[in-house]
Amino acid sequence: MERRDDDGPDDRGAVAWTQADHIPDDARRMGLSRSVPDGAMLELAGALDSRKRSHRVVAWVLLFAFAVPVLLSLLSLLR
């Protein structure tokens, strides 16, 4: 099939990219968006739905991932 430059864009499979809906207004005012690491974490955490089991599992994994290094640091300080 030959490609022609005068063909218009194909909107059938287009995805509408929007602003982050799950980031709090305070975080947006500080300049956080989903394109920065902290804003991406806020976006992910805000998008979790507690009615879904897989989202609860992700929340527990995130809690574990952030809490374990803090607990290990505290334990090393106490020794």
What pLDDT does 39 receive? 87
The pLDDT tens digits of the residues spanning 18-66 come to 554 688 888 888 988 888 898 888 888 888 999 999 999 999 999 999 9
- Tell me whether residue 27 is exposed, middle or buried, using C-beta atoms within 10 angstroms of its C-beta: 0 to 12, 13 to 18, 19 or more: middle
Q: Where are the domains of the chain?
A: 25-78
Q: Check residue 31 and give left, alpha or beta (phi > 0: left; psi -120 to 50: alpha).
A: left
Q: Tokens 């207004």 — which residue?
A: 25
With 0.85 as the threshold, say if the pTM is over it: no
Degrees, nearest 5: CA angle 39-35-69: 45
